[in-house]
Amino acid sequence: MSSRDHILAAVKQHQPEASVLPSLEGLSGNMPGTLEAYRKVLEGLGGSLFEIKDESEIPALLAEHYPHLQRIIRVGDEQRAWINEDPHLLEDVDMAVVPGQWGVAENGAIWLTEAEIPVRVLPFICQHLAIVLPAGRLLPTMHEAYEKIGAPQTGFGVFIAGPSKTADIEQSLVLGAHGAKSLVVFITAG
């Protein structure tokens, strides 16, 4: 038996007994899963929120609040030629409008997967990001979010919260360092 095999056999022989994971019951705190709680955290992160009846209101709101936008990509539009493009050709996207699955009030995050976003780089390469989320998809905490998500059903998923920002030791703030410069969330009535 080689030294390697001897060591691995010893490690295998001395494994601790398996134990049940502790319950997370009661660790969620008292954060409500309400629109008001979500809005407060999102706006604290530098994001903005609009309540809308349906997605047909989005183009007018974008035109009013982001009049300088040149290239807007909206996931779900009939014009989907950009999906087959080289992701590098998306570098000039001013605004990406994407659907979200779950919103989390405690940190303002929204869960996105490749089921909704056919090109993974889209929410990170655009200058500004808009996420559409039904009001009934707001949860109080990450604990509840992970319970809803369960085991990953897609190869890619990400929580996105607030516009991208970073600061160095001299407290020089940079927006859009590794993602969108701004985040707007459209909460639909449904």
- pLDDT for position 162: 78
Backbone phi and psi for residue 18, each to the nearest 5 degrees, phi listed first: -70, 145
- pLDDT for position 63: 93
The DSSP letter of residue 127 is S
Any residues with CB less than 8 A from the CB of 117 and at least 6 apart, and which?
75, 98, 123
Q: What is the mean pLDDT of the chain?
A: 86
pLDDT tens-digit profile of 87-118? 777 888 899 999 999 999 999 999 999 888 87
- pLDDT for position 58: 94
Tokens of 125: 């390469």
